[in-house]
Structure 1
């Protein structure tokens, strides 16, 4: 399954759920508030900007937002909400595509870094974020915690959400650190629709090492956007990484002084 095939025109049409799910005000509001705070008056770059779920309200808050997005159909949906002058978008993947300018904040929300299916690509994503940031800039990643503790021996799937008309389950390949999310939607007709998306899951400690390889240090980690404590029971996390205020390299040295000549 290629990402371009998954995020096609049909998916883009069904992606937005105004006022519900991940578009609910209680989900979007805290995310935008926290990102606006972390931008600290500067510009922001969103990797995998999608249809603008976060970018549009963030721009309305006065934060200049640019996006990188692989899916043209998703960008077409975004264009119904904001034009190119308001939210510029560069078509490409988040691991290698370069946007013009320098930013104080780069962010990745709603587990999107896991769409990169190899460790090398995920490390490259961190390096791409660092490439776009000014000294002292931040990279924010929202990501779920793999639910492997729910897997008894011999079982490879977990149900992570169930509600009338919808079941979400994940199938794990623990040898290769891969997971496929299955979204089953059904009604009273007896038929169902299945959508699937592959991911590479990442433990928080591995994510921190990727950050270090790109020159970041972990600034904070919470269980959600409002700052709940991250614990062993947390199902997801919001991790904030920061570049040093001074680029790495030779540090300034104090001037040399010569000792006063000794007396006879």
Structure 2
């Protein structure tokens, strides 16, 4: 990797204990806002966004829609541009400012706050959705259960909660850690350094960018959940699992699927 092993150990030990839940909901967005669109909204990702919007439009019903962790509007803006009223929640003022600076961004009402509380104007909603593994940004199981309950309360009867998330794969980690080279861009190297706690189901990562301009570090802290655990959270909130797919195109969900699109419905 071209870096001294002592450097890696020093930075890994600086990460807070995995069992702690003192996470700032805004931390991820505040750190990554300046590069988020460059990394995750590149032109080659637009077909995926279009398919996701198509999926959501067929399930929004009479609307409106609420996005949890709306960020820079990667999905909310094209969704709204196709005629759906969209409200967003995000903890990061810098991410919201990026959304506001885009065409149509000022037309989306955004609440700055912790989306576990799902306290947004404009409801009840025909659709609440959270994508790109963002639900796992909630620090612990209690916050995730609370989010499900608040989503259920925000939905109109017959409304749905849609989530895009990865299926956990704990064999990725060797002795509770993983170092991965993500990509090489010219003279720039993107690395991910992660620590895994299977008891709390927590992963703390640093996305590290090494280049001629120096070193950039972007923290990513998540608490993952298995699909069956998410279904139980839904049941506790009074929601019923209506659909589960392996992707936005409706690919069948199987034992080998690495991600899922899940749809829970509030009964009529």
For the criterion TM > 0.5, the same-fold answer is yes
Mapping of 1:1-264 within 5 angstroms?
1-8=23-30, 10-17=31-38, 20=41, 24-81=45-102, 82-84=104-106, 86-100=107-121, 101-151=123-173, 155-158=175-178, 162-164=182-184, 165-187=189-211, 189=212, 191-245=214-268
Pick closer, same or farther for the CA change 1:109–1:56 going to 2, 3 Å: same
Structure 2 residue matching 1:7: 3-state secondary structure: helix
CA drift of 1:158 comes to 3.5
Deviations 1:122-170 (A, max 9, x none): 0111111111111000000111111113345xx2124566221222343
Cα distance in 1 for partners of 2:84, 2:166 equals 26
Structure 2 residue matching 1:2: 3-state secondary structure: coil
| Higher RCO (Cα < 8 Å, 6 or more apart) | 2
Native 8 Å contact 2:61 2:159 kept in 1: no
Number of equivalences? 240
Structure 1 residue matching 2:38: 3-state secondary structure: coil
Cα distance in 1 for partners of 2:260, 2:105 equals 32
State the 4+ residue runs in structure 1 displaced beyond 4 angstroms: 18-23
Structure 2 residue matching 1:237: 3-state secondary structure: strand
Pick closer, same or farther for the CA change 1:169–1:73 going to 2, 3 Å: same
Structure 1 residue matching 2:73: 3-state secondary structure: coil
Cα distance in 1 for partners of 2:176, 2:214 equals 25
Structure 1 residue matching 2:256: 3-state secondary structure: coil
Pick closer, same or farther for the CA change 1:160–1:46 going to 2, 3 Å: farther
- Structure 1: 5+ residue stretches without partners: 246-264
CA drift of 1:190 comes to 9.1
Pick closer, same or farther for the CA change 1:130–1:112 going to 2, 3 Å: same
- Structure 2: 5+ residue stretches without partners: 1-22
